[in-house]
Every structure is written in structure tokens, then in C-alpha cells.
């Protein structure tokens, strides 16, 4: 049991050092361990785009074009990450 707790602690610390999340942030909000910062950033960009469309700052055609561009960029980044992981 102690080994499992030690390994879990090491995983948490390694995860915190990988991202910009501090250990105290994880202690305060354990759900941070389950969030994918890459996807969260993509989702924020889509939300901002949708807000721009709803505020009528851009047309529907511009909204669709930009959304397609963001999704294609995200898909390429995910594919690149998977390729890197599979190559090791």
C-alpha cells in the first residue's frame, strides 16, 4: 500500500512539473489531474469564436471557416502527439 501511495505521489509531482500546475493547485482542486490542457485551450478558442459570432462581430460564414481552421489545427496537433508517443 505504501508503494502505491509513493508511486501515485510521484506521478502527481511529475504531472505538475510537466504543466504549469502547482502541487498546491492539485491539492485544492484534484479534478485538475483529469483535465487535458491542450483540449481545454482548444475549447476556449472555440468558445471565444462562438462568442464573437453571437456578438455579431463576424458573419456565420467567417465563423464556420474559422471553426474549421481551428478544428483542423487541433486535429493535426493531436495526430502529431500520437505519432510522437507511438514512435517511442
Annotated domain spans of the chain:
2-34, 37-87
Neighbouring C-beta atoms of residue 49, cutoff 10 Å: 19
CB of 41 closer than 8 Å to CB of 19:
no
- Better pLDDT: 67 or 27: 67
Tens digit of each residue's pLDDT (9 = 90 or more) over 46-75: 999 999 999 999 999 999 999 999 999 999
Q: How many whole angstroms separate alpha carbon 21 and alpha carbon 55?
A: 33
pLDDT at site 47: 96
pLDDT for 76 beyond 90: yes
Secondary structure letter of residue 33 according to DSSP = G
Amino acid at each position: 500500500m505504501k508503494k502505491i501511495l509513493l508511486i501515485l505521489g510521484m506521478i502527481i509531482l511529475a504531472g505538475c512539473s510537466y504543466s504549469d500546475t502547482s502541487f498546491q493547485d492539485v491539492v485544492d482542486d484534484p479534478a485538475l489531474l483529469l483535465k487535458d490542457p491542450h483540449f481545454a485551450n482548444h475549447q476556449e478558442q472555440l468558445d471565444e469564436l462562438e462568442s464573437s459570432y453571437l456578438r455579431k462581430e463576424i458573419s456565420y460564414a467567417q465563423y464556420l471557416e474559422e471553426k474549421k481552421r481551428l478544428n483542423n489545427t487541433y486535429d493535426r496537433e493531436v495526430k502529431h502527439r500520437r505519432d510522437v508517443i507511438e514512435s517511442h
